[in-house]
Structure 1
C-alpha cells in the first residue's frame, strides 16, 4: 500500500521557465538561446548548468548566483510557478491518507519560498538544507527519514529526471513514478532504462490519485 509520496520540485511541481529566463536576462542573452542550450545539454546527459558555461566559459555559477541575489535579481518562486495540477492533486492524495513530502535538488532559499506557499504537504526540504543532493544515496536516506515510518516499498518517489529521480530512487528501494513533464520528463519517458526502473510513467499528478485509489482497493 502506498503510504507516502515524495515529490521532486523542478519540472515536477514548479515550472523552470522563470529560473532560466532570469539567467538569460542576467547574462544579457536571448531567453530562447538559454532554453535551447539547456535542451541540448539535457539531451547529451550533461548537467543543465553546463548551458551557462557554454554561454560564459569559465563562469563561476555559484558566484554569479550570489551576485544576482545581492543585486536584487535573485531566485524567486510564487504561485504562478506551480503547475496547475499541484494543489488539487496533492490535496486529494492527503485526503486518501497519503503522507506528502516535497524533497528535491534546490537551494535553501527555494525551500523557504515553497513553505511560504502553504502547499498541502506534510514536509518540505531541499538538498541545500540537507547538504547532499540527488542522485546520492545520502539524499534518499534523508528522504526515508521524512516518511514517518513508511517502508521504501510503501513510498513513491515522483520526478522527471531519469538520472536524478527515477533510476536512483528505484535503486534505493522506492517505487518510482516518472513524470512526463518538462524537457527531461518528455525526452526520457520512453527510454528503456526509465521504463524498466519506473513502476509507472505518468502524464499528470492526477494519475497518482488514480494509482493510490486502485492500490487501496486491493
Structure 2
C-alpha cells in the first residue's frame, strides 16, 4: 500500500493543529513561575521521554486549577486551510488526540467541522494505548492501511499508529517535533513534513 491508497487523514491536536504557546504561558502565570522556566522544564522532559504532567513536580508547584482552552487564534495558520483542502479532495478527515473535556466543542467553535472530532477525555483512553488507535479505526470503519495518522511525536503518534497498521506522517513542529526529528525512528514514518501545507501537497500529488 502507498499514500495513494489513503482514504482518511486523522490529525493530532496539540502542536499539530493547535499552537499551545498561549495555554502554557497562561499556566505558568497561574502557578507563579515564568514562561521561560516552564518551557525549559518541558523541554527537558520531552528530551527524556518523561510525562508532561511531571512538569509541576519538577517546578515544585501545584498544577493549575483551570483547564487549557482552545480558541480560533490558537490554530496554526495552515490548520483550517489544510482541513478544508483535504475534505474538498475527498478524504475523510478527522481529529483525535489527548485532550481534556470540552476540547471537542472548543475545536468546533474555532471552525473545525469534520467527519470525526474526538478526544481522549470522551473516549476514556489516551495515546499511546493501542485501544486509542483501535477506536479510531472502529469509528472510521476503515482498514488501517487506508488511514494516515498525523502527529508531531514519535512516541505518542507515529510509533503506536504504525503498530496499529496505519500509515503515518511525522510533523516537525513544536518542541517534541524538533527533538524527535533527529531520532533514527523518524525514518519509520511513511511521510515527514515541516507543515500541514506540505502534507496536503504530498497527499494530493499521490492521488494524481
Common topology (TM > 0.5) = yes
Structure 2 CA distance for aligned equivalents of residues 80 and 86 of structure 1: 11
3-state DSSP class of the match of 1:167? Answer: helix
Structure 2 CA distance for aligned equivalents of residues 186 and 146 of structure 1: 31
Moved over 2 A (4+): none
Structure 1 CA distance for aligned equivalents of residues 93 and 58 of structure 2: 37
List gaps (5 residues or longer) in structure 2: none
Q: TM-score scaled by structure 2? A: 0.93
3-state DSSP class of the match of 2:102? Answer: helix
Once the two structures are superposed, the pairs formed by residues 18-29 of structure 1 within 5 Å of their partners are 18-29=22-33
Deviation at 1:216, TM superposition (A): 1.4
- 2:101 aligned residue: 108
**What do residues 136-169 of structure 1 show as CA deviations (whole Å, max 9, x unaligned)?**
011001111232x322111100000111001110
Deviation at 1:111, TM superposition (A): 1.7
3-state DSSP class of the match of 2:161? Answer: helix
- 1:17 aligned residue: 21
Structure 1 CA distance for aligned equivalents of residues 193 and 129 of structure 2: 24
- 2:134 aligned residue: 141
Query: Aligned pair count?
Result: 204
Q: Is the 8 A contact 1:87 1:120 kept in 2?
A: no
Of the three residues 81, 84, 93, the one matched with 1:88 is 81
Deviation at 1:90, TM superposition (A): 1.0
RMSD over equivalenced CA pairs, Å: 1.3
Structure 1 CA distance for aligned equivalents of residues 133 and 96 of structure 2: 9
Q: TM-score scaled by structure 1? A: 0.89
Once the two structures are superposed, the pairs formed by residues 43-62 of structure 1 within 5 Å of their partners are 43-56=47-60, 59=62, 61=63
Structure 1 CA distance for aligned equivalents of residues 29 and 81 of structure 2: 33
Q: Is the 8 A contact 1:3 1:154 kept in 2?
A: yes
Structure 1 CA distance for aligned equivalents of residues 145 and 200 of structure 2: 18
Q: Is the 8 A contact 1:94 1:120 kept in 2?
A: no
Structure 2 CA distance for aligned equivalents of residues 177 and 53 of structure 1: 32
Q: Is the 8 A contact 1:79 1:117 kept in 2?
A: yes
**What do residues 9-68 of structure 1 show as CA deviations (whole Å, max 9, x unaligned)?**
0000001112211221111111110011100110111111211110126x4x4xx4xxx2
**What do residues 57-111 of structure 1 show as CA deviations (whole Å, max 9, x unaligned)?**
6x4x4xx4xxx23xxxx42211110000001111011111001100000111212
Deviation at 1:134, TM superposition (A): 0.3
